[in-house]
Amino acid sequence: MNVYLDYAATTPPDKESVEEMLPFLGETFGNPDSLHSYGRKAAYAVTCARDLVAQTLGVRASEVYFTSGGTEADNWAIRGIAANSPYRGIVVSAIEHHAALAAAELARKAGANVSVVKADGAGIVTAQAAEEALGMPAGLVAVMAVNNETGCIQPLREISALCRERGAVLFSDCVQAAGSLDLKEICSLCGAISLSGHKIYAPKGVGALIVKKGVPLAPLVAGGEQERGMRGGTLNVAGIVAFAGALARAQRYREENCRKIGALRDAFEERVLSALPDVRRDGENRVPGISHLTFPAKGGESMLARLDLMGVAASNGAACSAQSAKPSHVLLAMGRTEDEARKGVRFSFGKNTTEDEALYAAETVITCYRTIKGEEG
């Protein structure tokens, strides 16, 4: 049996997304910036997609900027808002995706003061920790809605209140939140959020940055009038149309999907943790689709390799760092040792996961870990 449990790395495009894209890969191929009928048809599709994203999120169409995905949106938000802010300070959580951390590092090299906030042992960036970092005047506070390794949901309501008090813009990476949290509520709390298509059953290479009116944002790409002159470059029409549809579906079926996915994740964890008492479940207050487990006997890589041989595809956390044996920066920020931070495996469930797959994966995890421990002993 082959079981895909890496939905947090990427999701397969769903049937609807593919169907939504097809016309724009075929006869409706026009450049949306062209003035003739071919161009106007493509431009109309982008306008409808922008309106649908705005309606889904409860924001204005003029607050939606299409991007190539989450990495670009994170970079743009952090560097683009900080650059235009009256304060040169950025507060960033230590558990952010590398895209946000690296962008903050570039801003630091460009002269910004950057303060990094740790998470607690349960994987949560508390408002109290953020408040301590806000000792300096900061224009931007970046705290993700859901961590991509542990699935921990961050307390954005409290952090948003704090930001409002201090006059800082709250930016939240919502790439992992779109299928499980209410994005309208999150948008009401934040000055900016980022999204990515391929985590919500749309294709790779498309996403969005939402920036509220009044939040200062520097342009990202010069050389074209696209995205109101802020991000030049011919738009990925097919991707944008599919992204907008996928986002609307992710929010519309959120509760139903979460119930189903959460039941599978919980059954998987229950079986694994009851059979393997030394395995630890990481994080509290999690979205239903993610299970991060620490296997103390051996590095996460050995588990992943064995699982792969037995048909189970999981991950050691951030997809971008899956090739490296580095300890997880998220687990380190939660206070784990370097050794512990190398022993995690993330299993992420999605809307196509079946009960048989979840149970097969659990039995496979148990067999693999027992084999590894036997070898070690």
Nearer to ligand PLP, 209 or 272 (CB): 209
Q: State the binding string over 15-54 for ligand PLP (x if CB under 6 A, else -).
A: ----------------------------------------
Q: Are 123 and 150 in contact (CB under 8 A)?
A: yes
Q: How far is the CB of 145 from ligand PLP (least distance, A)?
A: 9
Q: Pick from 18, 94, 319, 322 the residue near ligand PLP by CB under 6 A.
A: 319
| 99 makes contact with ligand PLP (CB under 6 A) | yes
| 240 makes contact with ligand PLP (CB under 6 A) | no
Q: How far is the CB of 312 from ligand PLP (least distance, A)?
A: 20
Q: Are 287 and 153 in contact (CB under 8 A)?
A: yes
Distances (CA, A) of 206 to 27, 66, 201, 271: 21, 7, 11, 37
**Closest CA relative to residue 314, chosen from 298, 300, 334, 328:** 300
Q: How far apart are CA 284 and CA 268, in angstroms?
A: 17
| 144 makes contact with ligand PLP (CB under 6 A) | yes
| 97 makes contact with ligand PLP (CB under 6 A) | yes
Q: How far is the CB of 300 from ligand PLP (least distance, A)?
A: 17
Q: Kindly indicate which of the ranges 124-132, 170-178, 237-245, 254-262 contains the residues binding ligand PLP, using the contact rule CB under 6 A.
A: 170-178
Q: Show the tokens assigned to 271.
A: 């079986």
Q: Pick from 115, 148, 180, 257 the residue near ligand PLP by CB under 6 A.
A: 148
Q: State the binding string over 184-223 for ligand PLP (x if CB under 6 A, else -).
A: ------------x-x--------x----------------
| 149 makes contact with ligand PLP (CB under 6 A) | no
Size of the site for ligand PLP (CB under 6 A): 15
List the interface residues with ligand PLP, window 75-94 (CB under 6 A). Answer: none
Q: Where are the beta strands (DSSP E) in the chain?
A: 3-4, 64-67, 89-93, 113-117, 140-142, 169-173, 192-196, 207-211, 280-281, 290-294, 312-313, 344-348
| 69 makes contact with ligand PLP (CB under 6 A) | yes
**Active-site residues: which are they?**
320
Q: How far apart are CA 241 and CA 366, in angstroms?
A: 42
Q: Are 192 and 203 in contact (CB under 8 A)?
A: no
Distances (CA, A) of 317 to 9, 36, 147, 217, 323: 8, 47, 10, 31, 11
Radius of gyration of the chain (CA): 21
Q: Kindly indicate which of the ranges 69-77, 116-124, 220-228, 235-243 contains the residues binding ligand PLP, using the contact rule CB under 6 A.
A: 69-77
Q: How far is the CB of 171 from ligand PLP (least distance, A)?
A: 12
Q: Are 309 and 301 in contact (CB under 8 A)?
A: no
Q: Kindly indicate which of the ranges 135-143, 171-179, 255-263, 368-376 contains the residues binding ligand PLP, using the contact rule CB under 6 A.
A: 171-179
| 71 makes contact with ligand PLP (CB under 6 A) | yes
Q: How far is the CB of 178 from ligand PLP (least distance, A)?
A: 10
Those residues whose C-beta lies under 8 Å from the C-beta of residue 193, and which sit 6 or more positions away, are 57, 145, 171, 172, 173, 174, 183, 186, 187, 209, 210
| 316 makes contact with ligand PLP (CB under 6 A) | no
| 175 makes contact with ligand PLP (CB under 6 A) | yes
| 239 makes contact with ligand PLP (CB under 6 A) | no
Which strands sit side by side in the sheet containing 89-93, from one edge to the other?
64-67, 207-211, 192-196, 169-173, 140-142, 89-93, 113-117
Q: Pick from 6, 14, 173, 227 the residue near ligand PLP by CB under 6 A.
A: 173
What interhelical angle do 98-109 and 70-84 show, nearest 10? Answer: 30
| 74 makes contact with ligand PLP (CB under 6 A) | yes
Q: How far is the CB of 199 from ligand PLP (least distance, A)?
A: 7
Q: 211 by DSSP, 3-state: which?
A: strand
Distances (CA, A) of 210 to 63, 90, 253: 6, 18, 22
Nearer to ligand PLP, 122 or 319 (CB): 319
> Which residues of the shown chain bind ligand PLP in the complex (CB under 6 A)?
69-71, 74, 97, 99, 144, 148, 173, 175-176, 196, 198, 207, 319
